[in-house]
A and B are shown apart, each in its own frame.
Chain A
């Protein structure tokens, strides 16, 4: 926990490089900019005790998912939670090429750069990644996030909004937006589904509520 205050001084180069990207004002949202949809699979829901098993991410530019611009990393595990293996299907030892946590983080921040990130229940992914960063004496992610759960809530008519705090699961999104659930519960698969959900939500918002892409920023999640 104390590592957080040591930041920057003897942080590795990749991290300093990452931080430098945020010196300038963040890019305004527009269809042409690179957004990254991501998902993390973890051993559990405890930010401190549980670990990231894999990270999947794919870029969205000009309303298209760019399959060539993607990231799929599997992490070596020290902590292993038998309960979640069933969901993710990722065993501690199988034949994926796996990297250490720090190597994964390095690849990840290099990949995302200062792009705006899209995730479903973004706070969870953000916190899991931040915990991992902090374990290595690095600071938190600086990127802004769009949360598909929040965006999706905005597509709903006011009538249904009495339940303001309803938490839409990714499965509910898939059903509502008619997205195929293949590869659900793999980081890459969920990242792809999230990206697809994002595109569909944006189209809906634009049509029903006349919210432009540029205006999405006001729906950016306020993360604590």
Chain B
């Protein structure tokens, strides 16, 4: 029989996930089973601790608030507007509601019977993903509960689920061939030839790995005549070995090899060198398990002779990035890979620039990257922010020394520009005399920022405080971090000012929970994901790590991890900040890859409902971390 009403409902449903991924007939058959509810403002659709209804709901008109009660207190968890789903609990756990749903304004909602919808969850992967995601969003969002010792026990996080599949464990060679430290090199070479292996692990009497000998070591140390063939293993073995636990993932293994610049990892029982050797993992194993390989790119980078070739490598990195995003490799790992390659690119650029210089550097220097690259969070090509610090020289020689490094910096920035890093519009580059100074000048600059804070100072310090030493002599960079911490310890006022600037970032959502877009300028009507969302998280992480005197942790995600350790009572908040940051960075990267730009300005109309939902979810921790800053540094008085 014709059912005009159901057809109209179908027309509505097709605009929203997960229904948009169903066929028209499927939607229609769902629509014919729907109940249409009208709820007055303030009326409840269901209440916390009521048994679940036989249906879940989608908002047709109006707005439904989801609330959780603690004792007498009622907390707003989320507001569902047109097209949003709620009451999904029935689809997952058919027990009591954990939240109340109340109409914030008069609303019409469709009740979709669980029985009707269940078959589609099994059939359609998209539907399944979306439902779990939405459900988890509502449940997970509510981290304050952990503080009250009442964690939501059954949150199903879609992200975790995806992470698990991406983090497949790597297979390694079990029962590796071993030798004793006292063995004669000639014997073990025979053994290796017989077994057709390229490396052998030296173990002690407890089977704990103590060293490794590879073909390369034999060639370099024995064949060259440096050591006689009758030497003992201990004399030529490389020690200590790098060890990992066996549940190593493809991603982790890759990072480990890149980080230590080695070709083999020892797998031990508990992951430390002080436990039994159970396997060995080689570069080759990794290649086999992981087709696309950043370490190949890094190797290539090291051999490149011209910046133009580096550009080509960076393009490959962009492709790699796309693949990683598609495979849903966890953001933390992606950041690691890409940062390693970015670093390698910069190092190579500096090396090439040095070769072009007519003379070697007059004194030692350090090349620093700042901002997002310094935090190792740079996935897309952005502006280059960098600086040079060189050794102190005599007053008379200062000018000529600086001139040398400025000339070098010019070559470097030009090289980076060729790769694809745009020149920094604010000239925060080593080629600017302000950012190419001797150590003592840098020290006084940093002190200046901290003791007599100005607006510009706080802005600059927020960039310069996230520096990473990339090339050259690292002692000067280390000295500068010490300066920062000394300064912070002297006065909390500086932290307060940094805090104010974090709070003054424009907020992402307006009064009606709509996205706030840029009002004018080149990027009119786009959403500035960097300023409105990511910067606050970045700033807050920096301020709080400074506050805790945590040195050497520049990465925002790491910072939150560290903070969660240090402040267990705020751990849930920090974790949710990290989570939000991960989502945001992925978002920005996807957008950037899509539009071939920095991904900073997002055209909202290109986002699906699903994406908007994901994005909005990230804003809650932002608001809360701002609150933490406000209270901790008593910023009300400063603003």
Report A's interface with B, CB cutoff 8 A. Answer: 56, 58, 63-68, 70-72, 74, 96-97, 178, 180, 182-183, 186, 188-189, 192, 195-196, 199-200, 203, 207
Given A67-B31, A182-B8, check contact A96 B36 (CB 8 Å).
no
- Taking a contact as CB atoms closer than 8 A, the residue among A180, A183, A207 that contacts B4 in the complex is A183
The answer on a CB contact under 8 Å between A67 and B33 is yes
The answer on a CB contact under 8 Å between B38 and A67 is no
- The digit string for B91-109, where 1 denotes a CB below 8 A from any CB of A, is 0000000000000001010
Task: Determine chain B's interface SS by DSSP, over half rule.
Answer: mixed
B2 at the interface (CB under 8 A from A): yes
Chain B residues with Cβ under 8 A from A56's Cβ? 4
Chain A residues with Cβ under 8 A from B36's Cβ? 64-67, 195-196
- Docked complex Cα distance between A153 and B579 (Å): 55
- Taking a contact as CB atoms closer than 8 A, the residue among A64, A70, A180, A186 that contacts B37 in the complex is A64
Interface of chain B residues 2 through 59 with chain A (CB within 8 A): 2-6, 8-9, 31-38, 40, 43
A98–chain B nearest beta-carbon distance, Å? 11
Chain B residues with Cβ under 8 A from A68's Cβ? 32-34
Q: Which residue of A lies closest to B1 (CB)?
A: A72
B111 at the interface (CB under 8 A from A): yes
Chain A residues with Cβ under 8 A from B4's Cβ? 56, 72, 183, 186, 188-189, 192
A87–chain B nearest beta-carbon distance, Å? 16
The answer on a CB contact under 8 Å between B111 and A183 is no
- Docked complex Cα distance between A66 and B38 (Å): 12
Q: Which residue of B lies closest to A206 (CB)?
A: B40
Interface centre among A63, A65, A97, A182 (most CB of B within 10 A): A65
The answer on a CB contact under 8 Å between B2 and A67 is no
The answer on a CB contact under 8 Å between B9 and A67 is yes
The answer on a CB contact under 8 Å between A65 and B40 is no
B263–chain A nearest beta-carbon distance, Å? 65
Interface centre among B34, B36, B37, B40 (most CB of A within 10 A): B36
- Report the number of A-B residue pairs with Cβ-Cβ less than 8 Å: 66
- Docked complex Cα distance between A196 and B36 (Å): 9
The answer on a CB contact under 8 Å between A67 and B40 is no
- Taking a contact as CB atoms closer than 8 A, the residue among B5, B43, B106, B108 that contacts A67 in the complex is B5
A95–chain B nearest beta-carbon distance, Å? 10
- Docked complex Cα distance between A180 and B61 (Å): 10
A-B contact pairs, 5 of them (CB 8 A): A64-B111, A66-B35, A72-B4, A192-B8, A207-B40
Chain A residues with Cβ under 8 A from B5's Cβ? 58, 67, 70, 183, 188-189, 192
B58–chain A nearest beta-carbon distance, Å? 13
- Docked complex Cα distance between A178 and B40 (Å): 13
Task: Determine chain A's interface SS by DSSP, over half rule.
Answer: mixed
Q: Which residue of B lies closest to A67 (CB)?
A: B34
- Docked complex Cα distance between A97 and B106 (Å): 38
- Docked complex Cα distance between A96 and B7 (Å): 15
Chain B residues with Cβ under 8 A from A199's Cβ? 38
Known A67-B32, A72-B1; 18 more pairs at CB < 8 Å: A64-B36, A64-B38, A66-B35, A66-B36, A67-B33, A67-B34, A67-B36, A70-B5, A71-B1, A72-B2, A72-B4, A74-B2, A183-B5, A188-B2, A188-B3, A189-B4, A196-B108, A207-B40
- Docked complex Cα distance between A96 and B38 (Å): 31
Chain B residues with Cβ under 8 A from A74's Cβ? 2
Q: Which residue of B lies closest to A60 (CB)?
A: B36
Q: Which residue of B lies closest to A71 (CB)?
A: B1
- Docked complex Cα distance between A72 and B32 (Å): 13
A163–chain B nearest beta-carbon distance, Å? 26
- Docked complex Cα distance between A65 and B37 (Å): 6
A96–chain B nearest beta-carbon distance, Å? 6
B303–chain A nearest beta-carbon distance, Å? 66
- Docked complex Cα distance between A64 and B36 (Å): 5
Chain A residues with Cβ under 8 A from B1's Cβ? 71-72
Chain B residues with Cβ under 8 A from A64's Cβ? 35-38, 111
The answer on a CB contact under 8 Å between A183 and B2 is no
The answer on a CB contact under 8 Å between B35 and A70 is no
- Taking a contact as CB atoms closer than 8 A, the residue among B2, B32, B34, B38 that contacts A203 in the complex is B38
The answer on a CB contact under 8 Å between A63 and B38 is yes
Chain A residues with Cβ under 8 A from B40's Cβ? 203, 207
- The digit string for B111-141, where 1 denotes a CB below 8 A from any CB of A, is 1000000000000000000000000000000
Q: Which residue of A lies closest to B11 (CB)?
A: A182
Q: Which residue of A lies closest to B42 (CB)?
A: A207
Interface centre among B32, B33, B40 (most CB of A within 10 A): B40
Chain A residues with Cβ under 8 A from B9's Cβ? 67
The answer on a CB contact under 8 Å between B3 and A72 is yes
- Docked complex Cα distance between A71 and B40 (Å): 27
B477–chain A nearest beta-carbon distance, Å? 64
The answer on a CB contact under 8 Å between A67 and B3 is yes
- Docked complex Cα distance between A182 and B61 (Å): 14
The answer on a CB contact under 8 Å between B33 and A96 is no
- Docked complex Cα distance between A82 and B533 (Å): 62
**Across chains A and B, which 5 residue pairs bring their CB atoms closest together, nearest first?**
A65-B36, A188-B4, A199-B38, A64-B35, A203-B40
A189–chain B nearest beta-carbon distance, Å? 6
Chain A residues with Cβ under 8 A from B34's Cβ? 67-68
- Docked complex Cα distance between A101 and B299 (Å): 84
Chain B residues with Cβ under 8 A from A196's Cβ? 36, 38, 108
Chain B residues with Cβ under 8 A from A203's Cβ? 38, 40, 43
Chain B residues with Cβ under 8 A from A188's Cβ? 2-5
Q: Which residue of B lies closest to A200 (CB)?
A: B38
- Docked complex Cα distance between A192 and B3 (Å): 11
Interface centre among A70, A183, A189 (most CB of B within 10 A): A70
Q: Which residue of B lies closest to A189 (CB)?
A: B4
The answer on a CB contact under 8 Å between B3 and A63 is no
Interface centre among A56, A64, A66, A183 (most CB of B within 10 A): A64
Interface centre among B8, B35, B106 (most CB of A within 10 A): B35
B186–chain A nearest beta-carbon distance, Å? 85
- Docked complex Cα distance between A169 and B529 (Å): 49
B203–chain A nearest beta-carbon distance, Å? 72
